Amino acid sequence: MSNHFSVEQTGSTAKVTIQGTLDINSAPVLAERIDQLVATKPALVSVDLSGLELIDSSGVAALVKLYKGVRGGGGSFVVNGARDQPLAIFKLLRMDKVFNLQ
């Protein structure tokens, strides 16, 4: 499965949607887009992972980078839709607590 992501920004709010696989091959492309997004200092970033099927440590690192960048700029960060393998990885790493996942 390939990686597909989109970033929609309206004013100070952004929605990041990630589908497919977020791994060592696709995470660097997302990381570049994260840098651009964080530079705008959004007040709220919502990340939709409902279409994410597989994540590895590189993908987790990209999401942590986004989280730290948004929070460091005083913004709020919300993750929705994590399921299956990505949710299991977040729980294993205790990132479910950081990202406030149910």
- Give the domain CATH number at 26: 3.30.750.24
Q: Is the pTM here over 0.85, yes or no?
A: yes
Q: Which of 2, 80, 7 is nearest to 37 (CA)?
A: 7
Q: How many domains does the chain have?
A: 1
Q: What is the pLDDT at residue 3?
A: 54
Full residue range of the structural domain in which residue 45 is found: 3-98
pLDDT by residue (tens digit) across 46-95? 999 999 999 999 999 999 999 999 999 999 999 999 999 999 999 999 99
Task: Say how far apart CA 39 and CA 50 lie, in whole Å.
Answer: 26
pLDDT, tens digit (0-9, with 9 covering 90-100), for 84-98: 999 999 999 999 999
Average pLDDT of the segment spanning 10-28: 96
Please check the confidence at residue 9 and state whether its pLDDT lies above 70. yes
